[in-house]
Structure 1
Protein backbone atom coordinates (compact mmCIF):
# COMPACT_ATOMS: atom_id res chain seq x y z
CA UNK A 1 0.00 0.00 0.00
CA UNK A 2 1.89 3.12 -1.24
CA UNK A 3 0.37 5.47 1.36
CA UNK A 4 1.60 3.28 4.22
CA UNK A 5 5.07 2.97 2.70
CA UNK A 6 5.51 6.75 3.02
CA UNK A 7 4.78 6.75 6.76
CA UNK A 8 8.26 5.77 7.94
CA UNK A 9 9.44 9.39 8.31
CA UNK A 10 9.80 10.88 11.81
CA UNK A 11 6.49 12.05 13.25
CA UNK A 12 7.55 15.18 15.09
CA UNK A 13 4.09 16.76 15.25
CA UNK A 14 2.39 14.18 17.49
CA UNK A 15 2.56 14.82 21.25
CA UNK A 16 2.27 11.45 22.98
CA UNK A 17 2.11 12.76 26.55
CA UNK A 18 -1.34 11.18 26.84
CA UNK A 19 0.06 7.63 26.62
CA UNK A 20 1.61 7.29 30.09
CA UNK A 21 -0.62 4.34 30.97
CA UNK A 22 -1.00 2.93 27.45
CA UNK A 23 0.09 -0.67 26.91
CA UNK A 24 0.90 0.02 23.25
CA UNK A 25 4.44 1.06 22.16
CA UNK A 26 4.65 4.74 21.25
CA UNK A 27 5.91 3.99 17.74
CA UNK A 28 2.75 1.94 17.10
CA UNK A 29 0.49 4.74 18.35
CA UNK A 30 2.32 7.19 16.10
CA UNK A 31 1.93 4.86 13.13
CA UNK A 32 -1.77 4.27 13.83
CA UNK A 33 -2.54 7.99 14.07
CA UNK A 34 -0.46 8.83 11.02
CA UNK A 35 -2.05 6.05 8.96
CA UNK A 36 -5.57 7.22 9.64
CA UNK A 37 -4.89 10.91 9.08
CA UNK A 38 -3.06 10.00 5.85
CA UNK A 39 -6.30 8.61 4.44
CA UNK A 40 -6.29 4.98 5.55
CA UNK A 41 -9.44 3.66 7.19
CA UNK A 42 -9.37 2.79 10.88
CA UNK A 43 -9.82 -0.90 10.10
CA UNK A 44 -6.99 -0.92 7.55
CA UNK A 45 -4.76 0.94 10.01
CA UNK A 46 -5.57 -1.72 12.61
CA UNK A 47 -4.68 -4.44 10.11
CA UNK A 48 -1.40 -2.69 9.29
CA UNK A 49 -0.43 -2.63 12.99
CA UNK A 50 -1.39 -6.29 13.26
CA UNK A 51 1.08 -7.07 10.47
CA UNK A 52 3.74 -5.28 12.55
CA UNK A 53 2.95 -7.45 15.56
CA UNK A 54 0.74 -5.01 17.49
CA UNK A 55 -2.90 -6.08 17.84
CA UNK A 56 -5.12 -3.09 18.54
CA UNK A 57 -8.69 -2.51 17.38
CA UNK A 58 -9.90 0.24 15.06
CA UNK A 59 -11.69 1.73 18.08
CA UNK A 60 -8.36 2.08 19.90
CA UNK A 61 -6.84 3.95 16.95
CA UNK A 62 -9.90 6.23 16.82
CA UNK A 63 -9.35 7.04 20.53
CA UNK A 64 -5.63 7.73 19.99
CA UNK A 65 -6.43 10.32 17.34
CA UNK A 66 -8.70 12.21 19.69
CA UNK A 67 -6.60 11.80 22.85
CA UNK A 68 -3.63 13.32 21.02
CA UNK A 69 -5.59 16.61 20.84
CA UNK A 70 -3.63 17.85 17.82
CA UNK A 71 -4.02 21.57 17.14
CA UNK A 72 -2.98 23.41 13.96
CA UNK A 73 -0.29 25.96 14.81
CA UNK A 74 1.06 28.10 12.01
CA UNK A 75 1.87 31.68 11.06
CA UNK A 76 0.37 33.95 8.46
CA UNK A 77 3.00 34.44 5.77
CA UNK A 78 0.91 36.40 3.25
CA UNK A 79 -1.21 39.54 3.41
CA UNK A 80 -4.21 37.52 2.25
CA UNK A 81 -6.20 34.75 3.89
CA UNK A 82 -8.73 32.47 2.17
CA UNK A 83 -11.79 31.90 4.37
CA UNK A 84 -14.92 29.90 3.67
CA UNK A 85 -17.77 27.90 5.19
CA UNK A 86 -19.19 24.62 3.92
CA UNK A 87 -21.98 22.26 4.89
CA UNK A 88 -20.74 18.71 5.41
CA UNK A 89 -22.47 15.50 6.43
CA UNK A 90 -21.12 13.33 9.21
CA UNK A 91 -22.95 10.04 9.71
CA UNK A 92 -26.14 11.52 8.27
CA UNK A 93 -26.01 14.72 10.31
CA UNK A 94 -25.46 18.18 8.83
CA UNK A 95 -22.71 20.44 10.21
CA UNK A 96 -21.07 23.64 9.02
CA UNK A 97 -17.30 23.72 8.76
CA UNK A 98 -15.49 27.08 8.76
CA UNK A 99 -11.88 27.19 7.64
CA UNK A 100 -9.01 29.62 7.06
CA UNK A 101 -6.06 28.81 4.77
CA UNK A 102 -2.89 30.75 4.00
CA UNK A 103 -2.90 30.80 0.16
CA UNK A 104 0.88 31.22 0.03
CA UNK A 105 1.73 28.09 2.03
CA UNK A 106 -1.59 26.18 1.69
CA UNK A 107 -1.51 25.63 5.46
CA UNK A 108 -4.74 25.44 7.43
CA UNK A 109 -4.65 28.09 10.16
CA UNK A 110 -7.95 27.35 11.84
CA UNK A 111 -11.04 25.15 11.54
CA UNK A 112 -14.29 25.32 13.51
CA UNK A 113 -17.35 23.11 13.30
CA UNK A 114 -20.87 24.30 14.13
CA UNK A 115 -24.31 22.64 13.96
CA UNK A 116 -25.57 25.53 11.83
CA UNK A 117 -24.35 28.66 10.08
CA UNK A 118 -25.56 32.04 11.31
CA UNK A 119 -24.24 35.53 11.78
CA UNK A 120 -23.30 34.55 15.35
CA UNK A 121 -21.33 31.41 14.39
CA UNK A 122 -19.49 33.41 11.73
CA UNK A 123 -18.55 36.06 14.30
CA UNK A 124 -17.35 33.37 16.71
CA UNK A 125 -15.12 31.81 14.05
CA UNK A 126 -13.62 35.14 12.98
CA UNK A 127 -13.06 36.17 16.62
CA UNK A 128 -11.20 32.89 17.34
CA UNK A 129 -9.12 33.35 14.20
CA UNK A 130 -8.24 36.93 15.09
CA UNK A 131 -7.26 36.02 18.67
CA UNK A 132 -4.84 33.42 17.35
CA UNK A 133 -3.20 35.46 14.62
CA UNK A 134 -3.93 39.20 15.07
CA UNK A 135 -5.12 39.78 11.51
CA UNK A 136 -5.50 43.57 11.39
CA UNK A 137 -3.46 43.91 8.17
CA UNK A 138 -4.81 40.86 6.34
CA UNK A 139 -7.27 40.93 3.43
CA UNK A 140 -9.80 38.09 3.68
CA UNK A 141 -10.63 36.35 0.40
CA UNK A 142 -14.25 35.14 0.46
CA UNK A 143 -16.99 34.10 -1.91
CA UNK A 144 -20.55 35.44 -1.83
CA UNK A 145 -21.65 33.19 1.06
CA UNK A 146 -24.57 34.45 3.14
CA UNK A 147 -22.67 35.58 6.23
CA UNK A 148 -18.93 35.92 5.70
CA UNK A 149 -18.75 39.16 3.72
CA UNK A 150 -21.50 40.96 5.71
CA UNK A 151 -19.92 40.03 9.06
CA UNK A 152 -16.42 41.00 7.88
CA UNK A 153 -17.79 44.36 6.72
CA UNK A 154 -19.71 44.92 9.96
CA UNK A 155 -16.70 44.07 12.13
CA UNK A 156 -14.33 46.29 10.16
CA UNK A 157 -12.17 43.64 8.48
CA UNK A 158 -10.76 44.16 5.02
CA UNK A 159 -12.01 41.62 2.49
CA UNK A 160 -12.35 40.89 -1.21
CA UNK A 161 -15.05 38.78 -2.85
CA UNK A 162 -13.23 36.42 -5.19
CA UNK A 163 -14.42 33.35 -7.07
CA UNK A 164 -11.03 31.92 -8.05
CA UNK A 165 -7.33 32.78 -7.74
CA UNK A 166 -5.83 32.60 -4.25
CA UNK A 167 -9.22 31.75 -2.73
CA UNK A 168 -8.94 28.33 -4.41
CA UNK A 169 -6.63 27.30 -1.53
CA UNK A 170 -9.61 26.88 0.80
CA UNK A 171 -11.64 25.14 -1.91
CA UNK A 172 -8.91 22.50 -2.31
CA UNK A 173 -8.86 21.89 1.45
CA UNK A 174 -12.65 21.58 1.60
CA UNK A 175 -12.62 19.18 -1.34
CA UNK A 176 -10.20 16.91 0.51
CA UNK A 177 -12.20 17.20 3.75
CA UNK A 178 -15.40 16.27 1.92
CA UNK A 179 -13.72 13.28 0.29
CA UNK A 180 -12.35 12.05 3.60
CA UNK A 181 -15.53 12.47 5.63
CA UNK A 182 -17.59 10.63 3.02
CA UNK A 183 -15.07 7.79 2.98
CA UNK A 184 -14.66 7.29 6.74
CA UNK A 185 -18.14 7.23 8.21
CA UNK A 186 -16.90 4.84 10.90
CA UNK A 187 -14.91 7.73 12.37
CA UNK A 188 -18.10 9.57 13.12
CA UNK A 189 -20.64 6.96 14.27
CA UNK A 190 -23.09 8.64 16.65
CA UNK A 191 -21.01 11.75 16.08
CA UNK A 192 -20.63 14.40 18.75
CA UNK A 193 -19.58 17.91 17.84
CA UNK A 194 -16.44 17.85 20.01
CA UNK A 195 -15.33 14.49 18.55
CA UNK A 196 -15.68 15.74 14.99
CA UNK A 197 -13.98 19.06 15.84
CA UNK A 198 -11.00 17.16 17.28
CA UNK A 199 -10.73 15.07 14.13
CA UNK A 200 -10.72 18.15 11.88
CA UNK A 201 -8.02 19.81 13.99
CA UNK A 202 -5.92 16.64 13.80
CA UNK A 203 -6.46 16.50 10.05
CA UNK A 204 -5.30 20.14 9.80
CA UNK A 205 -2.06 19.29 11.64
CA UNK A 206 -1.43 16.37 9.29
CA UNK A 207 -2.24 18.51 6.23
CA UNK A 208 0.15 21.24 7.35
CA UNK A 209 2.94 18.72 7.96
CA UNK A 210 2.79 17.82 4.28
CA UNK A 211 3.12 21.43 3.05
CA UNK A 212 6.68 21.98 4.35
Structure 2
Protein backbone atom coordinates (compact mmCIF):
# COMPACT_ATOMS: atom_id res chain seq x y z
CA UNK A 1 0.00 0.00 0.00
CA UNK A 2 1.41 3.41 -0.99
CA UNK A 3 1.56 6.33 1.42
CA UNK A 4 -1.10 8.11 -0.65
CA UNK A 5 -3.40 5.10 -0.37
CA UNK A 6 -2.86 4.94 3.40
CA UNK A 7 -3.78 8.58 3.90
CA UNK A 8 -6.42 8.93 1.23
CA UNK A 9 -8.70 5.96 1.84
CA UNK A 10 -12.45 6.05 2.33
CA UNK A 11 -14.02 7.55 5.42
CA UNK A 12 -17.51 6.01 5.35
CA UNK A 13 -16.55 3.65 8.20
CA UNK A 14 -16.20 6.51 10.69
CA UNK A 15 -19.28 6.80 12.93
CA UNK A 16 -19.92 10.44 13.81
CA UNK A 17 -22.95 10.22 16.07
CA UNK A 18 -21.08 12.43 18.55
CA UNK A 19 -20.80 15.21 15.97
CA UNK A 20 -24.10 16.76 17.07
CA UNK A 21 -22.15 18.46 19.84
CA UNK A 22 -19.30 19.59 17.56
CA UNK A 23 -18.95 22.93 15.78
CA UNK A 24 -16.69 21.40 13.13
CA UNK A 25 -18.18 20.19 9.80
CA UNK A 26 -18.60 16.43 9.68
CA UNK A 27 -16.37 16.01 6.64
CA UNK A 28 -13.56 17.91 8.32
CA UNK A 29 -13.75 15.61 11.34
CA UNK A 30 -13.61 12.54 9.10
CA UNK A 31 -10.65 14.02 7.22
CA UNK A 32 -8.98 14.59 10.61
CA UNK A 33 -9.57 11.10 12.02
CA UNK A 34 -8.65 9.01 8.97
CA UNK A 35 -5.13 10.32 8.21
CA UNK A 36 -4.17 10.41 11.87
CA UNK A 37 -5.02 6.73 12.29
CA UNK A 38 -3.28 6.05 8.97
CA UNK A 39 -0.01 7.47 10.21
CA UNK A 40 0.02 11.25 10.27
CA UNK A 41 1.06 12.94 13.50
CA UNK A 42 -1.43 15.26 15.16
CA UNK A 43 0.63 18.23 14.00
CA UNK A 44 0.61 17.09 10.37
CA UNK A 45 -3.09 16.25 10.56
CA UNK A 46 -3.70 19.77 11.87
CA UNK A 47 -1.82 21.19 8.86
CA UNK A 48 -3.84 18.99 6.51
CA UNK A 49 -7.07 20.43 7.93
CA UNK A 50 -5.74 23.98 7.64
CA UNK A 51 -5.38 23.44 3.87
CA UNK A 52 -9.14 22.84 3.88
CA UNK A 53 -9.68 26.08 5.75
CA UNK A 54 -10.41 24.36 9.08
CA UNK A 55 -8.47 25.62 12.12
CA UNK A 56 -8.45 23.08 14.93
CA UNK A 57 -5.95 22.20 17.64
CA UNK A 58 -4.11 18.91 18.01
CA UNK A 59 -6.12 18.29 21.18
CA UNK A 60 -9.38 18.66 19.23
CA UNK A 61 -8.23 16.10 16.65
CA UNK A 62 -7.16 13.70 19.39
CA UNK A 63 -10.56 14.15 21.06
CA UNK A 64 -12.38 13.34 17.81
CA UNK A 65 -10.72 9.93 17.75
CA UNK A 66 -11.69 9.33 21.37
CA UNK A 67 -15.29 10.49 20.97
CA UNK A 68 -15.84 8.42 17.82
CA UNK A 69 -15.34 5.30 20.01
CA UNK A 70 -14.45 3.15 17.00
CA UNK A 71 -14.58 -0.62 17.59
CA UNK A 72 -13.97 -3.62 15.29
CA UNK A 73 -17.26 -4.76 13.80
CA UNK A 74 -19.10 -7.63 15.48
CA UNK A 75 -21.04 -10.72 14.44
CA UNK A 76 -18.21 -12.26 12.41
CA UNK A 77 -18.02 -16.05 12.11
CA UNK A 78 -14.37 -16.92 11.37
CA UNK A 79 -13.16 -20.48 10.94
CA UNK A 80 -9.94 -19.72 12.77
CA UNK A 81 -8.91 -16.99 15.20
CA UNK A 82 -5.29 -16.07 15.83
CA UNK A 83 -4.74 -14.68 19.34
CA UNK A 84 -1.67 -13.09 20.84
CA UNK A 85 -0.55 -10.39 23.23
CA UNK A 86 2.34 -7.96 23.25
CA UNK A 87 3.80 -5.36 25.59
CA UNK A 88 2.90 -1.71 25.05
CA UNK A 89 4.66 0.95 27.14
CA UNK A 90 2.58 3.89 28.29
CA UNK A 91 4.34 6.52 30.38
CA UNK A 92 7.14 4.00 30.99
CA UNK A 93 4.67 1.47 32.40
CA UNK A 94 4.22 -1.99 30.85
CA UNK A 95 0.74 -2.83 29.61
CA UNK A 96 -0.45 -5.87 27.71
CA UNK A 97 -2.22 -5.49 24.38
CA UNK A 98 -4.42 -8.50 23.56
CA UNK A 99 -5.68 -8.96 20.02
CA UNK A 100 -7.70 -11.54 18.11
CA UNK A 101 -7.55 -11.58 14.31
CA UNK A 102 -9.08 -13.63 11.50
CA UNK A 103 -6.08 -15.12 9.63
CA UNK A 104 -8.14 -15.51 6.46
CA UNK A 105 -8.86 -11.78 6.21
CA UNK A 106 -6.19 -10.26 8.54
CA UNK A 107 -9.01 -8.35 10.24
CA UNK A 108 -9.08 -7.54 13.93
CA UNK A 109 -11.95 -9.17 15.82
CA UNK A 110 -11.27 -7.76 19.28
CA UNK A 111 -8.65 -5.60 21.00
CA UNK A 112 -8.08 -4.93 24.70
CA UNK A 113 -5.37 -3.34 26.83
CA UNK A 114 -4.65 -4.61 30.34
CA UNK A 115 -2.23 -3.39 32.99
CA UNK A 116 -1.13 -6.94 33.75
CA UNK A 117 -1.35 -10.40 32.23
CA UNK A 118 -3.27 -13.05 34.16
CA UNK A 119 -5.48 -16.02 33.37
CA UNK A 120 -8.48 -14.13 34.76
CA UNK A 121 -7.95 -11.14 32.47
CA UNK A 122 -7.32 -13.49 29.55
CA UNK A 123 -10.64 -15.16 30.37
CA UNK A 124 -12.31 -11.74 30.34
CA UNK A 125 -10.81 -11.04 26.90
CA UNK A 126 -12.18 -14.30 25.49
CA UNK A 127 -15.59 -13.77 27.08
CA UNK A 128 -15.83 -10.31 25.48
CA UNK A 129 -14.74 -11.79 22.15
CA UNK A 130 -17.35 -14.54 22.43
CA UNK A 131 -20.07 -11.97 23.20
CA UNK A 132 -19.05 -9.90 20.18
CA UNK A 133 -18.27 -12.52 17.52
CA UNK A 134 -19.53 -15.99 16.56
CA UNK A 135 -16.63 -18.04 17.87
CA UNK A 136 -18.18 -21.29 19.11
CA UNK A 137 -17.24 -23.20 15.93
CA UNK A 138 -13.86 -21.51 15.45
CA UNK A 139 -10.44 -22.96 16.21
CA UNK A 140 -8.19 -20.62 18.17
CA UNK A 141 -4.55 -20.48 17.13
CA UNK A 142 -2.31 -19.71 20.10
CA UNK A 143 1.30 -20.12 21.13
CA UNK A 144 2.32 -22.16 24.17
CA UNK A 145 1.32 -19.51 26.75
CA UNK A 146 -0.36 -21.19 29.74
CA UNK A 147 -2.84 -18.36 30.40
CA UNK A 148 -4.20 -18.54 26.84
CA UNK A 149 -4.69 -22.30 26.95
CA UNK A 150 -6.14 -22.23 30.46
CA UNK A 151 -8.73 -19.59 29.57
CA UNK A 152 -9.79 -21.39 26.38
CA UNK A 153 -10.10 -24.72 28.20
CA UNK A 154 -12.25 -23.11 30.88
CA UNK A 155 -14.62 -21.78 28.20
CA UNK A 156 -14.67 -25.06 26.28
CA UNK A 157 -13.33 -23.46 23.08
CA UNK A 158 -11.21 -25.38 20.58
CA UNK A 159 -7.59 -24.38 20.10
CA UNK A 160 -4.37 -25.43 18.43
CA UNK A 161 -0.84 -24.40 19.29
CA UNK A 162 0.76 -22.63 16.34
CA UNK A 163 3.86 -20.47 16.24
CA UNK A 164 3.87 -19.64 12.54
CA UNK A 165 1.74 -20.00 9.41
CA UNK A 166 -1.80 -18.82 10.18
CA UNK A 167 -0.62 -16.93 13.27
CA UNK A 168 1.45 -14.63 11.04
CA UNK A 169 -1.61 -12.44 10.52
CA UNK A 170 -1.79 -11.24 14.09
CA UNK A 171 2.01 -11.00 14.31
CA UNK A 172 2.07 -8.69 11.26
CA UNK A 173 -0.62 -6.59 12.89
CA UNK A 174 1.42 -6.36 16.09
CA UNK A 175 4.50 -5.22 14.18
CA UNK A 176 2.53 -2.33 12.74
CA UNK A 177 0.98 -1.51 16.12
CA UNK A 178 4.41 -1.42 17.76
CA UNK A 179 5.75 0.76 14.96
CA UNK A 180 2.93 3.23 15.48
CA UNK A 181 2.97 3.16 19.28
CA UNK A 182 6.73 3.56 19.68
CA UNK A 183 6.05 7.30 19.97
CA UNK A 184 2.62 6.98 21.59
CA UNK A 185 3.60 8.60 24.88
CA UNK A 186 5.24 11.44 22.99
CA UNK A 187 2.16 11.96 20.85
CA UNK A 188 -0.23 12.18 23.81
CA UNK A 189 1.45 13.53 26.93
CA UNK A 190 0.38 12.02 30.24
CA UNK A 191 -1.86 9.53 28.46
CA UNK A 192 -4.08 7.28 30.58
CA UNK A 193 -4.53 3.59 29.74
CA UNK A 194 -8.22 3.97 28.72
CA UNK A 195 -7.17 6.68 26.25
CA UNK A 196 -4.47 4.43 24.83
CA UNK A 197 -6.92 1.54 24.55
CA UNK A 198 -9.47 3.71 22.73
CA UNK A 199 -6.81 4.82 20.24
CA UNK A 200 -5.64 1.24 19.67
CA UNK A 201 -9.21 0.07 19.05
CA UNK A 202 -9.72 2.90 16.56
CA UNK A 203 -6.44 1.96 14.90
CA UNK A 204 -7.73 -1.63 14.63
CA UNK A 205 -10.83 -0.38 12.81
CA UNK A 206 -8.65 1.56 10.36
CA UNK A 207 -6.51 -1.57 9.79
CA UNK A 208 -9.65 -3.55 9.03
CA UNK A 209 -10.70 -1.02 6.40
CA UNK A 210 -7.35 -1.49 4.68
CA UNK A 211 -8.13 -5.20 4.24
CA UNK A 212 -11.43 -4.60 2.44
TM more than 0.5: yes
**More displaced stretch, 147-156 vs 165-174:** 147-156
TM, length-normalised to structure 2: 0.92
What are the superposed Cα offsets for residues 64-114 of structure 1, whole Å, 9 maximum, x if unpaired? 000111111055454111001111112322111110000001100100111
CA distance in 1, matches of 2:6, 2:207: 14
Q: Tell me how far 1:174 sits from its aligned partner.
A: 0.8
- What are structure 2's unaligned runs of at least 5 residues? none
Look up the match of 2:118.
118
Tell me if the contact between 2:87 and 2:94 (Cα under 8 Å) persists in the aligned partners. Answer: yes
The answer to whether residue 158 in structure 2 is matched with residue 170 in structure 1 is no
Corresponding pairs, count: 211
CA distance in 1, matches of 2:6, 2:98: 30
- Per the alignment, in what secondary structure is the counterpart of residue 210 of structure 1? helix
CA distance in 2, matches of 1:133, 1:8: 29
- Per the alignment, in what secondary structure is the counterpart of residue 21 of structure 2? coil
CA distance in 1, matches of 2:23, 2:154: 52
Look up the match of 1:151.
151
| RMSD of aligned alpha carbons | 1.7
Look up the match of 1:139.
139
Tell me if the contact between 1:4 and 1:35 (Cα under 8 Å) persists in the aligned partners. Answer: no
CA distance in 1, matches of 2:143, 2:163: 6
Segments ≥4 residues shifted beyond 3 Å? 2-10, 74-78
**More displaced stretch, 82-91 vs 115-124:** 82-91
Q: Tell me how far 1:4 sits from its aligned partner.
A: 5.4
CA distance in 2, matches of 1:179, 1:114: 19
TM, length-normalised to structure 1: 0.92
